[in-house]
Amino acid sequence: MHSVIVEPIILNFENYSSFIKLKRSFAYVLRFLNNIRYPSAKMTGNLSHAELDKSFTRLAILSQQSSFAQEYTNISKKLPISTKSKLAALSPFFDEDKLIRVGGRLDAAACGYDQKHPIILDGRHHLTKLLFRFEHSRLMHSGPQALLYSIRETVWPLGGRLLARRTVRDCVVCTRHRGRTMTPVMGNLPKQRVTPAFPFHTIGIDFGGPYSMLNRKGRGAKTSKCYLCIFICFRYKCVHLEVVSDLSKNGLISALNRMISRRGRPAEIFSDNGRNLVAAAREITNFLKNNPVLSDFAADEQIKFSFIPAYAPHFGGLWEAGIKSAKYHIKRYMGNSNFTFEELCTLFSQVEAILNSRPLYPLSSSPNDFLPLSPGHFLIGRPLTALPSPPIADLSSSSLDRYKRLEKVRQQFWSRWQKEYISELQQRTKWRTSHDKLSEGDLVLLQEDNVAPLNWRLGRVTALHPGPDGITRVADIRTARGVVRRALTRICPLFPSVS
């Protein structure tokens, strides 16, 4: 009769106070049965400590009969249990309440009876899980080790270490405080990184700074802010640096015009979601489309802008690394000094030359090998408006005129780039595996800068956007403020239900 009553009760409580509710509910069930059997000695009023202890004892017996049916039968009949049983190493015995307890080796220890001979429970049983959740909450969300030690003072859970870790991991409060976001596997390189083309055919844009700039030399000079604007080539990591007076749309367009005048017009521009970048992209695109003189030209030759997801700088690792390298030299040279505009332009040009002289791949120790390719190899030897030439790298140099000999040298650079540099990009240096999975409908937190994890916005996944390799790195999240698109590295998954 008891087992028929208790099973629905055990399965219906799912929150962290479920253990107390279960124990009190079953205590009322036992009181009801007692009052039916002994109407002359009815029990009324609040539940006593003895009734709650008896309730837990009965629940533990039901759990043991369910988890260790054969062992319970053998011990009750005073028969030996199998040597392959999970209880064999614990020397189990029956106490006066017909509970299976640990026999153990601590009879001479100076501790209480419950600690010497704790009750044996299966870690996979629902009652044990409720007990762990209650104790985890009572201990103010302690870690797995402290949780397990506290439980073992009265109960010996089989598989308790694993259950303790799972309890802490599945706790929503602990999950929100950890604020651990997802890390999908590193993506494949886009075609713009591995296919030959002229330098700065595909570029990335980013800003760094601010830096202090003097309006003139001498005493009484005033300072103002300026910024570093970097243009980096996707294929050869060629760098172009510009000084920008402010982070406005007009400042970016002016810097882009100066870069195009010296490096040539790019076909694609990648950047983050900065407001000035988005506004400049919209203005340039509208100008190319609406200008009647350029309408035909824009149909085939217009610049294509692409933006990475918001708050996902690792999507633009190429230009982020370029900004880091440029700052490394600029900070060490400037120190605490303030430069004029001309001095800053000179400094940025010198830093640009240094960055464009770096090798693209590790140096070889053999003295017979070629010098390694650098971005500078791809910046010299052709006009900005030159068209690709037919392949002549395999022809004999003696049969070529001077121009074609130069073309052969330049094409050898591209051949070496494909054979020597591209092979260095094969390995994934980090994010080699995906440890988490996200599905539509999952409840998540959105990581926000300068905000405590408990105050992160709560949302639900509405759409996933897998990449060309089938791995999802961006998702749409519906929040109280609307639907936003975020990278998985800014998403902290919560659990749809407590298991």
pLDDT tens per residue, range 250-298: 788 888 888 888 888 888 888 777 666 666 666 666 655 554 443 344 3
Looking at the chain, the whole-number percentage of residues with pLDDT higher than 70 is 74
Which run of H or of E encompasses 415?
helix 402-416
Mean predicted lDDT score pLDDT of the chain: 75
For residues 112 and 430, the model is more confident at: 112
The yes-or-no verdict on residue 91 having pLDDT over 70 is: yes
The yes-or-no verdict on residue 7 having pLDDT over 60 is: no
What pLDDT sits at residue 94?
Answer: 85
Mapping DSSP to helix (H, G, I), strand (E, B) and coil, where does residue 170 land? helix
Most confident of 76-80, 218-222, 274-278, 452-456: 76-80
Residues near 17 by beta carbon (within 8 Å), at least 6 away in sequence:
134, 137
For residues 281 and 15, the model is more confident at: 281
Mapping DSSP to helix (H, G, I), strand (E, B) and coil, where does residue 448 land? coil
For residues 71 and 360, the model is more confident at: 71
Under a CB-based contact definition with an 8 Å cutoff, are residues 239 and 255 in contact? Answer: no
Q: Average pLDDT in the 156-173 region?
A: 89
The yes-or-no verdict on residue 188 having pLDDT over 80 is: no
pLDDT tens digits for range 49-66: 888 888 888 898 888 888
For residue 238, how many C-alpha atoms fall within 13 Å in the half-sphere facing its CB?
21
Closest C-alpha among 273, 280, 278, 229 to residue 253: 280
Under a CB-based contact definition with an 8 Å cutoff, are residues 374 and 338 in contact? Answer: no
Q: Average pLDDT in the 337-358 region?
A: 81
Phi and psi at residue 471, to the nearest 5°:
-95, 130
Structure tokens at 36: 């039916």
Closest C-alpha among 191, 437, 236, 178 to residue 355: 236
Q: Average pLDDT in the 82-104 region?
A: 83
Dihedral sign (CA 332, 372, 234, 384):
positive
For residues 62 and 310, the model is more confident at: 62
What pLDDT sits at residue 1?
Answer: 36
Structure tokens at 368: 């017979």
Residue with tokens 């040298």: 409
Residues near 459 by beta carbon (within 8 Å), at least 6 away in sequence:
443, 444, 445, 446, 477, 478, 479, 484
The yes-or-no verdict on residue 371 having pLDDT over 50 is: yes
For residue 381, how many C-alpha atoms fall within 13 Å in the half-sphere facing its CB?
22
What pLDDT sits at residue 352?
Answer: 84
Q: Average pLDDT in the 338-367 region?
A: 76
Looking at the chain, the whole-number percentage of residues with pLDDT higher than 90 is 2
Residue with tokens 């494909």: 418
The yes-or-no verdict on residue 432 having pLDDT over 80 is: no
Q: Average pLDDT in the 425-444 region?
A: 72
The yes-or-no verdict on residue 167 having pLDDT over 60 is: yes
Under a CB-based contact definition with an 8 Å cutoff, are residues 244 and 180 in contact? Answer: no
Pick the range with the lowest mean pLDDT from 23-27, 109-113, 161-165, 428-432.
428-432
What pLDDT sits at residue 385?
Answer: 33
The yes-or-no verdict on residue 240 having pLDDT over 60 is: yes
Under a CB-based contact definition with an 8 Å cutoff, are residues 356 and 239 in contact? Answer: yes
Q: pLDDT confidence of 475, banded at 50, 70, 90? A: confident
What pLDDT sits at residue 164?
Answer: 92
What pLDDT sits at residue 163?
Answer: 92
The yes-or-no verdict on residue 334 having pLDDT over 60 is: yes
What pLDDT sits at residue 495?
Answer: 67
What pLDDT sits at residue 85?
Answer: 84
The yes-or-no verdict on residue 486 having pLDDT over 60 is: yes
Structure tokens at 65: 């009969």
Q: pLDDT confidence of 13, banded at 50, 70, 90? A: very low
Residue with tokens 């002289």: 357
What pLDDT sits at residue 293?
Answer: 45
Structure tokens at 215: 């309006």
Structure tokens at 110: 């100076």
Answering whether pTM is above 0.75, one says no
What pLDDT sits at residue 162?
Answer: 92
Instruction: State the amino acid at position 484 in one-letter form.
Output: V
What pLDDT sits at residue 301?
Answer: 46
